[in-house]
């Protein structure tokens, strides 16, 4: 199989290294697309290959294209053109898959090329293939959720274990190369959102535009939140979720909806998700026959990601690659922009009498039922963090409550809201 490698960075080098170590490798890399031919790299160019800066050379006269450029501009041209030319494509590009699933499905319908994208979601975790060939062909998934971003999990694990601040953890993650100079995509949850978008399509059969997925990052979390989480025998993780929920309207009609969101969550320590630390990712799947399953592994990094790329290449070479977007057994669902959960609400207030009472009244006014109130002894009466946990309610109710509080004189800023997950 003649292969063009587009993008010769960290993962690309890993792919070349793994391919060269395969006994009787069926893959002959002929082209390597780079921006700068003269840049020094930490791997040798295979003798069969030549560098090129012209992407069009990579989508002809080859059997398979590996797309590791990222983004949705040049990468899109390469992937779309290759598939239209009946060339197989393997990509690690979650942004591209998330943004263009429907178009990719249309192109694949008339292409003899296959699309492998195991590396796009969950790095080294074989979640895409497991969903395609072990789960959705026989089972109905009701929920897919997980820690889908290694950078933020590294930071949150550190904040929980060492009590350090968000800013200190971010600086350390940046100095270790875990976080980029502009960490927005990671810390604001956009990276996790693209991945939950891919998983929602695959597991639940719904194409949700990324922009329609509610997304809250980790930058508002403080050491107070980790302390209160500990009081709740929990920790905080950034979790992406897509799940089917039955909603009953006021006429009693039941409709099946999907709720998709990315947000920091209070995760109980006796569950699996809370115990996944460092840069590790985890995907939790709840399905009718299997109940709850978890897949854990390296979410990023040169060799884990490269392994997923090469596994897809082998699957294509062995005719074992699945239809890219098989239709799940049950896919008649509409999207619910809101979601239900028990919630954790952290308010920072100026200490004065009657706050609990007023907060209680506002909860009542928004039909939010209080489960517990947590307040550590006050150390600074000008800024007292205290926490309300709620019974099951909708996020919109809690947000209305939070907004009402923020408009009162004693409340310092908008209260922080995050769901409490069960496991």
195 in active site:
yes
CB of 245 to a second copy, least distance (A): 21
CB of 417 to a second copy, least distance (A): 27
Q: Which of residues 318-347 bind a second copy (CB under 8 A)?
A: 318-322, 329
Residue-wise over 176-193: b if at least 16 C-beta within 10 A, else e?
Answer: eebbeeebebbbbbbbbb
Which span (28-36, 314-322, 355-363, 391-399) binds a second copy, by CB under 8 A? 314-322
> How would you classify the pairing of strands 340-349 and 280-287?
unpaired
Contact between 356 and a second copy per CB under 8 A = no
- Please identify, using beta-carbon distances, which residue of 22 and 37 lies nearer to a second copy: 22
Contact between 23 and a second copy per CB under 8 A = yes
Contact between 130 and a second copy per CB under 8 A = yes
Which listed residue (50, 233, 292, 383) binds a second copy by CB under 8 A? 292
Contact between 177 and a second copy per CB under 8 A = no
Using CB under 8 A, count the residues that bind a second copy.
Answer: 51
CA distance 135 to 126: 12
Q: Which of residues 70-129 bind a second copy (CB under 8 A)?
A: 118, 124-126, 129
Binding track, positions 234-273, relative to a second copy; x by CB under 8 A: ------------------------------------xxx-
- List phi, psi (to 5°) of 65: -115, 130
CA distance 107 to 80: 7
Largest CA distance in the chain: 77
Q: What is the CA radius of gyration of the chain?
A: 23
Contact between 275 and a second copy per CB under 8 A = yes
Which listed residue (288, 367, 391, 422) binds a second copy by CB under 8 A? 288
Contact set with a second copy (CB under 8 A): 14, 18, 21-23, 118, 124-126, 129-130, 133-135, 137-139, 270-272, 275-277, 287-298, 303-304, 306-308, 310-311, 313-315, 318-322, 329
Positions annotated as catalytic residues are 195
């Amino acid at each position: 199989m003649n292969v063009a490698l587009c993008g010769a960075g960290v993962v690309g080098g890993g792919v070349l290294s793994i391919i060269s170590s395969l006994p009787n490798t069926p893959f002959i890399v002929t082209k390597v697309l780079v921006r700068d031919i003269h840049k020094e790299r930490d791997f040798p160019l295979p003798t069969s290959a030549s560098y090129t800066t012209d992407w069009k050379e990579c989508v002809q006269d080859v059997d398979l294209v590996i797309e590791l450029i990222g983004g949705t501009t040049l990468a899109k041209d390469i992937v779309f053109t290759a598939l239209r030319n009946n060339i197989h494509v393997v990509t690690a590009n979650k942004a591209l898959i998330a943004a263009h699933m429907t178009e990719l499905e249309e192109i694949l319908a008339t292409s003899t090329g296959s699309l492998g994208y195991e590396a796009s979601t969950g790095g080294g975790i074989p979640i895409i293939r497991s969903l395609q060939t072990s789960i959705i062909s026989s089972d109905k998934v009701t929920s897919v959720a997980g820690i889908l971003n290694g950078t933020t999990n590294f930071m949150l694990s550190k904040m929980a274990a060492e009590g350090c601040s968000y800013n200190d953890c971010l600086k350390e993650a940046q100095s270790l190369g875990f976080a980029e100079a502009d960490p927005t995509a990671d810390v604001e949850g956009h990276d996790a959102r693209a991945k939950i978008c891919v998983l929602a399509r695959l597991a639940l059969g719904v194409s949700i535009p990324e922009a329609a997925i509610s997304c809250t990052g980790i930058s508002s979390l403080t050491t107070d939140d980790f302390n209160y989480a500990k009081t709740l025998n929990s920790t905080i993780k950034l979790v992406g979720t897509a799940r089917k929920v039955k909603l009953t309207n006021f006429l009693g009609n039941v409709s099946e909806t999907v709720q998709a969101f990315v947000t920091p969550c209070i995760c109980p320590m006796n569950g699996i998700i809370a115990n996944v630390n460092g840069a590790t990712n985890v995907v939790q799947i709840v399905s009718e026959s299997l109940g709850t399953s978890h897949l854990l592994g390296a979410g990023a990094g040169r060799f884990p990601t490269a392994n997923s790329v090469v596994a897809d290449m082998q699957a294509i070479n062995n005719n074992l690659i699945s239809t890219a977007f098989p239709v799940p057994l049950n896919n008649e669902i509409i999207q619910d922009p809101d979601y239900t959960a028990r919630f954790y609400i952290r308010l920072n207030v100026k200490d004065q009498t009657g706050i609990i009472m007023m907060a209680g009244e506002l909860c009542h006014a928004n039909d939010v039922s209080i489960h517990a109130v947590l307040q550590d002894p006050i150390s600074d009466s000008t800024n007292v963090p205290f926490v309300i946990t709620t019974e099951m309610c909708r996020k919109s109710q809690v947000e209305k409550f939070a907004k009402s509080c923020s408009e009162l004189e004693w409340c310092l800023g908008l209260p922080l809201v995050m769901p409490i997950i069960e496991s």
